Amino acid sequence: MLLVLSGSAVATGQIFTGNPGTAAALLLAFLALAGVNSPLIFPRSIGARDAQRRSAVDGRPVVFWRPGCKYCIRLRIRLGRSARQLHWVNIWRDPAGAAAVRAANDGNETVPTVVVAGRPRTNPDPEWVREQLSPSA
């Protein structure tokens, strides 16, 4: 929201100085940044314990992520609609999720970390993650 408001203010200033083309370009750039950094592009996050419990029942992977992470955004975009089948945990909102990521990554909060059948994989290829959703996986 802050990026949208800032972009609007900058664009308004450019319009008043007589640069509507620059205003439009800047506003689009701010809107793109807001969209990429928005948690709204990710499926609804749940807590780590709930995600791990659900994964144990349905076998679907758990994805630990954080807003603004370009690798998380890449994974989310490349997964497309299948991303909604995964259990997503925002480590900035869930201390247990952050602890699970640190445990899997030698104390570092490296995301995305995907856990399948209790085994973590850091920054996996999106195609590999998609394969984990298939019934034969």
Model confidence over 66-124: pLDDT tens digits? 988 899 989 998 998 888 899 999 999 999 999 999 999 999 999 999 999 999 999 99
Q: What are 45's two structure tokens? A: 């996050």
How many residues appear in the chain? 137
CATH 3.40.30.10 residue spans of the chain: 41-132
Q: Could you give the angle at which helices 95-104 and 48-58 cross, rounded to 10 degrees?
A: 70
> Model confidence over 41-69: pLDDT tens digits?
667 889 999 999 999 999 999 999 998 88
From CA 64, how far away is CA 93, in angstroms rounded? 11
C-beta of residue 61 within 8 angstroms of C-beta of residue 114:
yes
pLDDT of res. 135: 63
Asked if CATH classification 3.10.310.10 holds for the domain at 41-132, the reply, yes or no, is: no
